[in-house]
Structure 1
Amino acid sequence: MIKVLLADDHPLFREGLKYRLSLEPDIEVAQEAENGKQALELLQQQCFDLVLMDINMPEMDGMYVLELIREQELDCKVLMLSMHDNKEYILAAMRHGANGYILKDVPGNELIAAIKKVASGKSYFSSEVTEILSKELAGEQRGVVTRREQLVLRLISHGLNDKRIAQELNVSVRTVETHKRNIKQKLGIDSTAGLVRYAIDYGLDK
């Protein structure tokens, strides 16, 4: 059973979403939150497999809640559900550690598929979001990260530590550490796990 925390400030939308999820035998809306602060408090008090969370909420927005979830190392997958399809929101969600991002106008069956995929430990981005990310990757992000840095990212995603990467590239460990530091600064990512997720999401692990 996938235990879900549903966080959205619109009661009618929450009610409709809860009803749709109740039709699935392996999904349970265990708790609801009407603002970001309440969502964070619930996450601190009990365990959920996944939080389905809006971005624009009163008291504390969903993006900040996401950031705090990762900072406090709360064990929960996060699927952002938003009306915003611009790249700033999407990239910010990724950088803060979202496991997925879908738009509020997706069909119900796609929402269910997204919840199940994210709960299983994979990422999920709706087709519109994927298209936006692909354009971003083809443009400024690939321009920012050099070919050498992309190679370092690929090796990181394969599970190699700094010493092994240095051996593969025939450089010093210090050089690898410098590459990693530069990549993190450019992408706004502060952890190795975040780099791995970025490499996988953008196809740089192949």
Structure 2
Amino acid sequence: MTDSGGGRTRDVLIADDHPLIRAGIKATLAGRPEWRVCAETETGEAAIRLAQELKPDLIVVDYALPIANGVEVARQLCQDMPGIGVLVYTMHVDERVLMAAIRAGARGYVLKSEDDATLLAAMREVATGGTYISEGISSRQPARLTDATISALTVRETEVIRLVAMGETNKGIAAKLNVSIKTVDTHRTAAMRKLDLHSAIDVALFAIRSGMINP
């Protein structure tokens, strides 16, 4: 779809159980020809059904939805519709929820306390294949690293970092790679030091941005 100015108009589905939030997002998008709200809903179950029917470019979904929460919506849609942009829009300042959302396939995580400009920036980034995480949820977000830095990892360190990003524990990684837990910890520590990463969130974001895993 294109707008009158020749640019692309992207369809967005809004899923939030609070009418005022939905109204606020629509008001933010009003008058912006690059966006068209194709549908809105208040439940996760309906969000999945509408997305499968309408095939929007982007879904802005609350985490705390009834029936199916935002992570469950992301997991189902990213499985059924590879390439769809999922942006979780939430009040939850919780790194565990963020990690679950990323591992489910969401590429955006924005706090409702952020301003409209941040939401718009996140929507644009996610709709065009990028990732966007609110600064308020993670104190450090790794920058896109150079190929030279990435190539500093050994093959085994790369394997370990990828599995950490996918949510595996050291014990689980050890079983998959048929090595000891101590060996996994050594590779994990060395890789995180080389990449200047300090948490599992840093690892997950790095893995997505560097193409190690696909959200």
| Pairwise TM-score range, normalised by the shorter structure | 0.5 to 0.7
Structure 1's 73 and 150: CA in aligned 2 closer, same or farther, altered over 3 A?
farther
Counterpart CA distance in 2 for 1:74 and 1:120 is 13
Q: Which amino acid aligns with 2:37?
A: V
5+ residue gaps in structure 1? 135-145, 156-176, 187-194
Counterpart CA distance in 2 for 1:76 and 1:58 is 22
CA distances 1:98-144 after superposition (whole Å, capped 9, x unpaired): 1110100111011111101111111111111232667xxxxxxxxxx
Describe the SS at the equivalent of 1:112: helix
Q: CA RMSD in A?
A: 3.4
Percent same amino acid at aligned positions? 31
1:100 to 2:134 alignment: no
CA deviation after TM superposition for structure 1 residue 74, in Å: 4.9
Q: Does the CA-based 8 Å contact 2:95-2:138 persist in structure 1?
A: no
**Residue of structure 2 in register with 1:3 after alignment:** 11
Say which is worse superposed, 123-132 or 76-85, in terms of deviation: 123-132
Q: Aligned residues, how many? A: 162
Q: Which amino acid aligns with 1:30?
A: C
5+ residue gaps in structure 2? 1-8, 143-152, 163-175, 189-202
Q: Does the CA-based 8 Å contact 1:153-1:204 persist in structure 2?
A: no
Q: Does the CA-based 8 Å contact 2:141-2:205 persist in structure 1?
A: no
Describe the SS at the equivalent of 1:20: helix
Structure 1's 74 and 38: CA in aligned 2 closer, same or farther, altered over 3 A?
farther
Q: Which amino acid aligns with 1:31?
A: A
Alignment of 1:125-204 (within 5 A): 125-131=133-139, 149-152=156-159, 178=177, 199-201=207-209
Q: Does the CA-based 8 Å contact 2:14-2:59 persist in structure 1?
A: yes
**Residue of structure 1 in register with 2:90 after alignment:** 82
TM-score computed with the length of structure 2 as normaliser: 0.65
TM-score computed with the length of structure 1 as normaliser: 0.67
**Residue of structure 1 in register with 2:61 after alignment:** 53
Alignment of 1:100-119 (within 5 A): 100-119=108-127
**Residue of structure 2 in register with 1:33 after alignment:** 41
Counterpart CA distance in 2 for 1:101 and 1:196 is 13
**Residue of structure 2 in register with 1:71 after alignment:** 79
Counterpart CA distance in 2 for 1:93 and 1:200 is 13
CA deviation after TM superposition for structure 1 residue 197, in Å: 6.6
